[in-house]
């Protein structure tokens, strides 16, 4: 039984954006949004992100990696960070817009790596430019933010402590993920430089080492472990991104998926 007096859930809002909401409930959700401006703003932001991703990637989502760009794979060593020279690199290139993105990395399933990185970079690019509403829950509510996101994504998650890297937690928000809801944390340096962490369930992803992707002026590091995928996004300074990603990796290793 549905009706306008039944509160609209987060899942229904996502289904509304994705055009997957049952027809009999759609009018109720529209009426809810008309009287709940905060939810209406969130729905608008999700739609904007979806439109950005569709516009940029729909034409290339099903393209295969050209044989000429397939090199060797990294030697996989579960739960260990690999430094220095490695056996080789798996390189994937997808042409999109005026510039494509190049990925270097490990033996992650290409679709999982692609889906997570596309979604994470899309969210990063959409929200890091926001001044008034970059997050749903501010960083000064860390405990509430962690509890709320852990409940929604289905595993314990903590906002990593990144003060050693000169980054302060701005806050976080809940986003749709490739397979399940995703948690999204944003950090900022004293100079205004922003980094984000995007994490969600990744049922088909085997444990992987770091895998790098770059698009225009943004870079990302992807890895997966214990059925959970992580993407750290920020400027394309790979050494700096690597430093931030390692601090997050070390802390998620302690918490576990």
Q: How confident is the model at residue 254 (pLDDT cuts 50, 70, 90)?
A: low
Contact predicate 232/244, CB 8 Å: yes
Q: What is the pLDDT of residues 12-64, one digit of tens each?
A: 887 888 788 888 888 888 998 888 888 887 787 667 666 665 555 555 545 55
- Is the pLDDT at 204 greater than 90, yes or no? no
Residues 172-202 pLDDT 10s = 999 988 888 999 999 999 999 999 999 998 8
Q: What's the full length of the chain, in residues?
A: 257
> What's 78's domain CATH number?
3.30.200.100
What pLDDT, on the 0 to 100 scale, is given for residue 146? 94
Q: Are residues 24 and 121 in the same domain?
A: no
**Whether residue 138 is found in the same domain as residue 33:** no
Could you tell me if 129 and 24 lie in one domain? no
Taking every pair of Cα atoms in the chain, the longest distance, rounded to a whole number of angstroms, is 61
pLDDT for the residue numbered 177: 87
The pLDDT-based confidence of 72 (bands split at 50, 70, 90) is very low
Contacts of 232 (CB under 8 A, 6+ apart): 195, 196, 197, 198, 220, 221, 241, 244, 245, 248
> What is the residue-averaged pLDDT of the chain?
75
CA angle (141, 145, 146) in 5-degree steps: 120
Residues 112 and 190 in one domain: yes
Judgement on whether residues 85 and 142 belong to the same structural domain of the protein: yes
State residue 42 phi and psi, 5-degree precision: -65, -45
Angstrom distance (rounded) from CA 246 to CA 230: 12
Which residue range forms the structural domain that includes residue 51? 10-55
pLDDT of residue 43: 80
Mean pLDDT of the region 127-153: 92
The number of helix segments (H) and strand segments (E) in the chain equals 6, 9
The pTM for the full model equals 0.60
- The winner for highest mean pLDDT among 40-44, 95-99, 110-114, 129-133 is 129-133
- Structural domains of the chain, count: 2
Residue 100 — very low, low, confident or very high, per pLDDT cuts 50/70/90?
A: very low
The reply to whether 194 and 250 lie within a common domain is yes
Identity of the highest mean pLDDT range in 40-44, 72-76, 149-153: 149-153
């Amino acid at each position: 039984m549905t009706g306008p007096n039944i509160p609209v859930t987060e899942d229904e809002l996502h289904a509304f954006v994705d055009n997957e909401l049952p027809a009999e409930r759609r009018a109720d959700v529209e009426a809810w949004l008309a009287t709940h401006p905060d939810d209406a703003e969130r729905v608008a932001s999700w739609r904007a992100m979806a439109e950005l991703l569709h516009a940029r990637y729909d034409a290339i989502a099903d393209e295969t990696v050209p044989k000429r760009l397939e090199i060797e794979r990294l030697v996989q060593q579960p739960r260990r960070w690999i430094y220095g020279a490695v056996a080789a690199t798996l390189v994937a290139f997808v042409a999109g817009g005026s510039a494509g993105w190049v990925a270097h990395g490990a033996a992650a399933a290409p679709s999982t790596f692609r889906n997570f990185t596309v979604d994470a970079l899309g969210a990063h690019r959409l929200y890091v430019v926001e001044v008034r509403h970059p997050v749903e829950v501010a960083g000064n509510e860390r405990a509430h933010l962690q509890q709320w996101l852990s409940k929604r994504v289905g595993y314990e998650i903590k906002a990593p402590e990144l003060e050693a890297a000169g980054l302060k937690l701005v806050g976080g928000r809940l986003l749709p993920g490739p397979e399940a809801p995703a948690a999204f944390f944003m950090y900022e340096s004293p100079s205004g430089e922003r980094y984000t962490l995007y994490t969600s369930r990744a049922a088909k992803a085997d444990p992987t080492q770091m895998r790098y992707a770059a698009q225009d002026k943004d870079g990302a590091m992807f890895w997966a472990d214990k059925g959970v995928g992580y993407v750290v996004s920020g400027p394309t300074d790979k050494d700096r991104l690597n430093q931030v990603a390692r601090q997050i990796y070390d802390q998620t290793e302690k918490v576990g998926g």
